[in-house]
A and B are shown apart, each in its own frame.
Chain A
Amino acid sequence: MVTREVTVMNRAGVHTRPASMIVRAAAKFRAEFLIRKDEYEINGKSIIGVMTLAAEQGARLTLVFEGEDENEAVGAISRLFESGFGEEL
């Protein structure tokens, strides 16, 4: 299992478009993927789950991966957060 802390960088937060980017990227990996925010935990492969995190700019999230390709997965998903999903920061 690997975990990684990330911060939501883009101004608009994890709205529909970033959520769909996360889910589509996560689907390429076999590892199970959870996202934690405060006391709340959701399946990172579920777009509805990711959206209902309501993660705004500045929110801190924990990504949790478990599976054979967990290291590749954590790299790919955290890069999306770092790049602000290609949106305005």
Chain B
Amino acid sequence: MSLVDTTTERVAEGIGVAPGIAIGPAYLYARAAFEVEERRIASEDMEGELARFEKAVSRSERDLRKIAAVAREKLGESSADIFVAQALMLRDTAFHEAVVEHIRRDRMSADYATHVVLGRHRQLLEAGESEYLRERANDMLDLQDRVVRHLRRGKILSAIDTESIVVAESLTAADIVLFSQRAILGTALDYGGATSHVSIMARALGLPAIVGMHGVTEQVVSGDMLVLDGLTGRVVIDPTEDTLAFYRDRRERYRQLQEEQKKIVSLPAQTLDGRKVRLAANLEFMEELELVEEYGAEGVGLFRTEVLFLMRKRVSLSEEEQFKAYRRIVESVSPHRTTFRLLDFGGDKMLPLGHREHNPFLGWRGVRVLLDKPDMLHPQLRAIVRASRFGPLRILLPMVTELDEVYAFKDILSALYEEFEKKNVEYDPDIPVGIMVEVPSVAIKAGRFAREVDFFSIGTNDLTQYTLAVDRGNDLVADKYQELDPAILQLIRQIVEEAHACSIEVSVCGELAARAVATPILIGLGIDEMSASPIYLPEVKRVLRSIRMEEARSLAAQALQARDAHEVTSLLEVWLREHDCDVASMLEA
């Protein structure tokens, strides 16, 4: 490397999905690194090659048993089965003996023989008609990667024993489980989104992570010095001394904030003058359940059930499978309550229904799909109602736009209660039923809806995009996506007033609830519950605990009169600074 290179730093950006700052050497973990060449061995090396293969098989087997055990504990038996099956394949004659035969007879290297044998089987699966089965070819590819990785153990795994930042195209759940037991500082990935499995796992494991970096694997080589900032989604490659000093300081300040927040977890969520606001967790995965207590959440304000389905890439899960999952959730969260949002497909979460729309956000989604597809709604509803005897829960309808949808749903629920009465199925007959308020028309007609439902949950993400006509996934206009626009705040105020007039509670479960900078306004507008990814709750609580209702109301009143979201944000930041209440988003450089 020339002298010039050492003084130029480069910056790459993506989506920060797990906060924290990591500084260290890159470790490029690439599937491409396992491209296998056709290689033959000399006959005197044959015994050594066979021994090398046996060792790689044993090591792979040990990995898979360990991953299966972790998966069983965190994700349940059926997720663990995939890893158990991979372990069985290692000893399967169709794999093991075939590889040994290729080494002995054809003098293939163990790497190449593994590739040839599993490649042959993979092709058979990929040729099938069924998508389910074609996906199983991935299991074989995973297995091949694992065995080849162990065959090259000396070169590959040792590198990761030093503290490093993993850079990869993508990681599997198994990868991240294993990495978390090694000296990994953080991870930067080409693919993935905020809600992809690996992002959730990284947050759960407290590992700073950035996804959606599009080509970071091409910009970085192993050993490059990196700074990874999970708060801003920024990676600095070959940072200068000044940059390093800046980030070391930032890392330290972030650490201090974290320490302070740990202390706050067990303190009550209330304002200085004693107004209690429930801080609840948004969850999607079973393995996040333990975060509820860890971050001091009072229950689950939003369980996004569709993720349970998407993980299994299945259109439907049986009532029984769902019941088991829901029961485990309510039992774990009890005595606090769990709010289950019914399947919310459509929009950007398309089911593999082979269904395409020109404008999915204005199309067949949420409760519209549920009411059209009883085979999807009924098993889920039955499973949730059955789970209600194991702990307090609420039912939340997604993407409601008409009163008739609420009536139709209530008819279905009453019929179910009647059936359960007749069959002596135990359930809680007073399950609260609420709606997502995420469409401007519902916000405007909140008074009518408030008389028909037991609670409102404001989805600020969709409410913002529908109100401001901004697709936040579109880079050309994404900067116009502003949840703190006074128009949105006006709608929230109206929703809360109408709800409180009918004595029902209002939650905010969109990303706005996670932004501590917005907390004073939400409190000032009278929100009863804020639900966010658990890691954000301590910071929200810290702001909540440093404000009086009177101040919050006055801030909200000023914000409603502001000209735009920028003015609202500066209003809030000034207040927070003056009250010695800096939040992580204000650490930004």
Q: Is the Cβ of B92 less than 8 Å from the Cβ of A46?
A: yes
Given contacts A17-B78, A20-B88, A88-B317, contact A48 B133 (CB under 8 A): no
Q: What residues of chain B lie closer than 8 Å to A23, measured between beta carbons?
A: 88
CA of A12 to CA of B84 in the docked complex: distance in angstroms? 19
15 A-B pairs with CB atoms under 8 Å apart are A15-B135, A16-B85, A16-B139, A17-B82, A20-B81, A46-B93, A47-B88, A48-B95, A49-B94, A51-B121, A51-B125, A52-B125, A54-B129, A56-B133, A88-B314
Q: Is the Cβ of A13 less than 8 Å from the Cβ of B89?
A: no
Say which residue of A19, A24, A56 sits within 8 Å of B128 (CB atoms).
A56
Q: What residues of chain A lie closer than 8 Å to B318, measured between beta carbons?
A: 87-88
Q: What residues of chain A lie closer than 8 Å to B78, measured between beta carbons?
A: 17
Q: What residues of chain A lie closer than 8 Å to B317, measured between beta carbons?
A: 88
Q: Is the Cβ of B314 less than 8 Å from the Cβ of A56?
A: no
Q: What residues of chain A lie closer than 8 Å to B135, measured between beta carbons?
A: 15
Give the distance to chain B from A64, nearest Cβ to Cβ, in Å: 18
Give the distance to chain B from A45, nearest Cβ to Cβ, in Å: 8
Q: Is the Cβ of B136 less than 8 Å from the Cβ of A15?
A: yes
Q: Is the Cβ of B136 less than 8 Å from the Cβ of A24?
A: no
Query: How many chain A residues touch B (Cβ–Cβ < 8 Å)?
Result: 23
Q: Is the Cβ of A48 less than 8 Å from the Cβ of B136?
A: no
Chain A residue with minimal CB distance to B130?
Answer: A56
Chain A residue with minimal CB distance to B317?
Answer: A88
- The answer to whether the Cβ of B127 comes within 8 Å of any Cβ in the partner chain is yes
Residues from 17 to 57 in A contacting B, C-beta threshold 8 Å: 17, 19-20, 23-24, 43, 46-49, 51-52, 54, 56-57
Give the distance to chain A from B82, nearest Cβ to Cβ, in Å: 6
Known: A16-B86, A17-B78, A56-B130. 20 other contacts (CB 8 A): A12-B314, A13-B130, A15-B135, A15-B136, A16-B82, A16-B85, A17-B82, A20-B84, A46-B92, A46-B93, A47-B88, A48-B95, A49-B92, A49-B94, A51-B133, A56-B128, A56-B133, A57-B130, A87-B318, A88-B316
- The answer to whether the Cβ of B3 comes within 8 Å of any Cβ in the partner chain is no
- The 5 closest A-B CB pairs, nearest first, are A54-B128, A20-B85, A48-B94, A52-B124, A56-B130
Give the distance to chain A from B298, nearest Cβ to Cβ, in Å: 35
Q: Is the Cβ of A47 less than 8 Å from the Cβ of B89?
A: yes
Q: What residues of chain B lie closer than 8 Å to A56, measured between beta carbons?
A: 128-130, 132-133
Q: Is the Cβ of B132 less than 8 Å from the Cβ of A48?
A: no
Chain B residue with minimal CB distance to A49?
Answer: B94
Chain B residue with minimal CB distance to A59?
Answer: B130
Q: Which residues of A come within 8 Å of B, CB atoms? A: 11-17, 19-20, 23-24, 43, 46-49, 51-52, 54, 56-57, 87-88
Interface centre among A16, A17, A19 (most CB of B within 10 A): A16
CA of A58 to CA of B174 in the docked complex: distance in angstroms? 32
Q: What residues of chain A lie closer than 8 Å to B421, measured between beta carbons?
A: none
Give the distance to chain A from B81, nearest Cβ to Cβ, in Å: 5
Q: What residues of chain A lie closer than 8 Å to B82, measured between beta carbons?
A: 16-17
Q: What residues of chain B lie closer than 8 Å to A14, measured between beta carbons?
A: 133
Query: How many chain B residues touch A (Cβ–Cβ < 8 Å)?
Result: 30
Give the distance to chain A from B441, nearest Cβ to Cβ, in Å: 36
Q: What residues of chain B lie closer than 8 Å to A17, measured between beta carbons?
A: 78, 81-82, 85
CA of A54 to CA of B129 in the docked complex: distance in angstroms? 8
- The answer to whether the Cβ of B321 comes within 8 Å of any Cβ in the partner chain is yes
1/0 per residue, CB under 8 A from A, across B128-146: the answer is 1110110110011000000
Residues from 293 to 349 in B contacting A, C-beta threshold 8 Å: 314, 316-318, 321
Q: What residues of chain A lie closer than 8 Å to B139, measured between beta carbons?
A: 16
Q: What residues of chain A lie closer than 8 Å to B314, measured between beta carbons?
A: 11-12, 88
Give the distance to chain A from B140, nearest Cβ to Cβ, in Å: 8
CA of A47 to CA of B121 in the docked complex: distance in angstroms? 11
Residues from 393 to 438 in B contacting A, C-beta threshold 8 Å: none
Q: Is the Cβ of A46 less than 8 Å from the Cβ of B81?
A: no
Q: What residues of chain B lie closer than 8 Å to A11, measured between beta carbons?
A: 314, 316
Q: Is the Cβ of B321 less than 8 Å from the Cβ of A88?
A: yes
Chain A residue with minimal CB distance to B134?
Answer: A54
Q: What residues of chain B lie closer than 8 Å to A49, measured between beta carbons?
A: 92, 94
Given contacts A20-B84, A24-B88, contact A51 B136 (CB under 8 A): yes
Chain A residue with minimal CB distance to B88?
Answer: A47
Q: Is the Cβ of A54 less than 8 Å from the Cβ of B84?
A: no
CA of A88 to CA of B383 in the docked complex: distance in angstroms? 14
CA of A48 to CA of B85 in the docked complex: distance in angstroms? 9
CA of A43 to CA of B92 in the docked complex: distance in angstroms? 10
Q: What residues of chain B lie closer than 8 Å to A47, measured between beta carbons?
A: 85, 88-89, 92
CA of A49 to CA of B129 in the docked complex: distance in angstroms? 17
CA of A49 to CA of B132 in the docked complex: distance in angstroms? 17
Interface centre among A15, A23, A43, A51 (most CB of B within 10 A): A51
Give the distance to chain A from B315, nearest Cβ to Cβ, in Å: 8
Q: What residues of chain A lie closer than 8 Å to B95, measured between beta carbons?
A: 48
CA of A14 to CA of B316 in the docked complex: distance in angstroms? 17
Say which residue of B93, B125, B321 sits within 8 Å of A54 (CB atoms).
B125
Give the distance to chain B from A84, nearest Cβ to Cβ, in Å: 10
Q: What residues of chain B lie closer than 8 Å to A20, measured between beta carbons?
A: 81, 84-85, 88
Residues from 164 to 198 in B contacting A, C-beta threshold 8 Å: none
Say which residue of B81, B128, B321 sits within 8 Å of A16 (CB atoms).
B81
Give the distance to chain A from B554, nearest Cβ to Cβ, in Å: 55
Give the distance to chain A from B175, nearest Cβ to Cβ, in Å: 18
CA of A52 to CA of B93 in the docked complex: distance in angstroms? 14
Q: What residues of chain B lie closer than 8 Å to A24, measured between beta carbons?
A: 88
Say which residue of A13, A15, A54 sits within 8 Å of B124 (CB atoms).
A54
CA of A48 to CA of B95 in the docked complex: distance in angstroms? 8
Give the distance to chain B from A61, nearest Cβ to Cβ, in Å: 14
Give the distance to chain B from A3, nearest Cβ to Cβ, in Å: 22
Q: What residues of chain A lie closer than 8 Å to B127, measured between beta carbons?
A: 54
Given contacts A48-B89, A51-B125, A54-B130, contact A16 B94 (CB under 8 A): no
Q: What residues of chain A lie closer than 8 Å to B84, measured between beta carbons?
A: 20
Q: Is the Cβ of A52 less than 8 Å from the Cβ of B88?
A: no
Given contacts A17-B82, A54-B127, A88-B316, contact A12 B132 (CB under 8 A): yes
Q: Is the Cβ of B85 less than 8 Å from the Cβ of A43?
A: no
Give the distance to chain B from A51, nearest Cβ to Cβ, in Å: 6
Q: What residues of chain A lie closer than 8 Å to B125, measured between beta carbons?
A: 51-52, 54
